[in-house]
């Protein structure tokens, strides 16, 4: 396989014409013959460049509304011909096929068309055929041919030509080919994923997922693991789309935890009141509403001050000057919010390592998203948990019904429990978590841990009694036995929200009645393994 390959002839056919004129001019200045099609050819000619139409090369006009223009042996032969094989060279001469040394193609904007909500037929018409076919041909023959699918590779290509007297290195062509195959794979993924939804194929025979590189990570969850961050093209508000204003580069764990924090705080409508979520290891250590953002932060912090140290803070409203000083009082890894005032940014500026991320809004917690997780030999694919219950969905199952204030706390606790690792127990009082138990092998242990955390915080704050006294408690799944419920009662809970559905529901309800506890069933669980 040759290393340096000359670049004498290029085919440019792009949907996104960013940088096209500049690239065409740079190639022409280096003596490269330009071939093109349609709008790309017109744009290049309008810029004063000498361009030959592909139709003149193939002898066939563009037809069928542009569906057929580059699907021709003269084009693909020029891309696929091996320059080192006599038989290939003879075939090129016999059939008047000129070599194409550079292909510059970016594809019809299918993803953008879908994102705009276009109808089925419009989306179909925006599926590129000739482009992916040429890309694959050029990429396969990267021993001799350069294929460029991303605007950001234009500069690298030109730099190579300058460094190698109009030639490119094999290393560059290999990198370009890999990028090209990944681009067509991502494009096909977008088409197949959209079509699965469009035809209501819940479990299609084949599925693929793709991403676009955003940044490297210093390491993964641990220092011996390599990692990188990729975006999925959905532009969902969050860590992938946020602007980082200051602080160190985000780590793998930072991104994972920040995502968890922002998805949780988005459960609380900012139009109703400010809300703050503090996250540690993807679990909430404090969540609260407040009359002000500062009050919400303080109430969230008071749930578990110990765990909040080195945590992630997510806000459902823009960071303001009153809240910023409270946040910087302790070591915090990341703050994410839908905006931040200049005064708040100035407060944060004194903490150089504190990352401040802002988004243009909150994610839609009810939007349907497909999630996936790798397991050995495969992937688990499911809908994102967008389950929601309202006051009207709750079923009172005890003799005592919750008060309006208790019901508000129960629903608050339920929203938080959805984001706590399963076997979750969440105590809430006055729209603030006062104890969180997460991820234990038994629900009883989670209840014990949550209560113990509340006791510890009461001691630290000099309170006469834990805030779990008179609290509402949420369980992400049913109580299989009454012991977990009794542990919550012992901690001071006066009302309970849980899915129900256990074989021993009657036993648990009876225990609640005996203890004078109000209990409601949601009919929905929120396991988060």
Indicate which residue of 17, 88, 140, 167 is catalytic. 140
DSSP string, 301-321: HTT-HHHHTTEEEEESS-B-T
Of 95, 20, 19, whose CA–CA distance to 51 is shortest?
A: 20
Helix (H) or strand (E) holding 487: helix 482-490
CB 304 within 8 A of CB 336: no
Of 499, 500, 526, whose CA–CA distance to 384 is shortest?
A: 526
Q: In degrees to the nearest 10, what's the CA dihedral of 202, 208, 214, 220?
A: 100
Burial of 68 (0-12, 13-18, 19+ CB in 10 A): middle
Say how far apart CA 124 and CA 209 lie, in whole Å: 20
Active site residue 76: no
Give 3-state DSSP helix, strand, coil % of the chain, rounded to 5: 40, 20, 40
Report helix, strand or coil for 472.
strand
Active site residue 281: yes
Indicate which residue of 281, 345, 351, 452 is catalytic. 281
DSSP string, 195-225: HHHHTT-SS-S------EEEEE-S-SSSTTS
- Give the distance between the most distant pair of CA atoms in the chain: 96
Catalytic residues: 140, 281
């Amino acid at each position: 396989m040759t290393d340096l390959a000359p670049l004498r002839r290029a085919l440019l056919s792009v949907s996104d014409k960013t940088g096209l004129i500049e690239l065409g001019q740079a190639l022409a200045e280096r003596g490269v013959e330009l071939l093109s099609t349609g709008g790309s050819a017109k744009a290049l000619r309008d810029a004063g460049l000498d361009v030959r139409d592909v139709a003149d090369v193939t002898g066939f006009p563009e037809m069928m509304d542009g569906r057929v223009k580059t699907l021709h042996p003269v084009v693909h032969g020029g891309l696929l011909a091996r320059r080192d094989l006599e038989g290939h060279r003879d075939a090129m001469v016999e059939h008047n096929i000129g070599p194409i040394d550079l292909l510059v193609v970016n594809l019809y904007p299918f993803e953008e068309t879908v994102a705009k909500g276009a109808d089925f037929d419009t989306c179909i018409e925006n599926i590129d055929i000739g482009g992916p076919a040429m890309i694959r041909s050029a990429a396969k023959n990267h021993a001799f041919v350069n294929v460029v699918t991303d605007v950001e590779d234009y500069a690298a290509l030109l730099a190579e030509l300058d460094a190698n007297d109009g030639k490119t290195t094999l290393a560059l062509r290999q990198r370009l080919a890999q990028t090209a195959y990944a681009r067509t794979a991502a494009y096909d993924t977008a088409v197949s994923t959209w079509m699965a939804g469009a035809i209501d194929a819940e479990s299609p025979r084949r599925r693929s997922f793709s991403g676009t590189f955003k940044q490297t990570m210093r390491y993964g969850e641990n220092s011996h693991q390599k990692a990188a961050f990729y975006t999925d093209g959905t532009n969902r508000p969050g860590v992938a789309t946020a602007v980082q204003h200051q602080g160190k580069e985000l780590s793998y764990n930072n991104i994972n935890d920040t995502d968890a924090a922002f998805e949780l705080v988005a459960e609380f409508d900012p139009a109703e009141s400010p809300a703050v979520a503090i996250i540690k290891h993807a679990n909430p250590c404090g969540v609260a509403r407040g009359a002000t953002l500062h009050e919400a932060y303080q109430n969230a912090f008071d749930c578990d001050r110990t765990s909040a140290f080195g945590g992630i803070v997510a806000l459902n409203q823009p960071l303001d000057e009153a809240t910023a000083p409270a946040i910087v009082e302790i070591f915090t890894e990341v703050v994410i919010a839908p905006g931040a005032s200049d005064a708040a940014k100035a407060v944060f500026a004194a903490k150089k390592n504190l990352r401040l991320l802002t988004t243009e809004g909150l994610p839609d917690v009810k939007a349907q998203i497909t999630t996936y997780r790798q397991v050995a030999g495969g992937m688990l694919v499911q809908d994102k948990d967008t389950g929601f219950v309202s006051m009207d969905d709750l079923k009172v199952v005890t003799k005592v019904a919750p008060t309006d204030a208790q019901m508000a706390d129960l629903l608050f606790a339920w929203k938080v429990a959805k984001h706590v690792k399963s076997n979750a127990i969440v105590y809430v009082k006055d729209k603030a978590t006062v104890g969180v138990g997460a991820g234990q092998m038994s629900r009883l242990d989670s209840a014990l841990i949550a209560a113990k955390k509340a006791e510890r915080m009461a001691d630290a704050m000099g309170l006469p009694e834990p805030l779990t006294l008179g609290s509402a408690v949420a369980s992400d799944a049913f109580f299989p036995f009454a012991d977990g419920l009794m542990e919550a009662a012992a901690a001071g809970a006066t009302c309970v929200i849980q899915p129900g559905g256990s074989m021993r529901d009657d036993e648990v309800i009876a225990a609640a009645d005996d203890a004078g506890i109000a209990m409601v069933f949601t009919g929905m669980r929120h396991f988060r393994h």
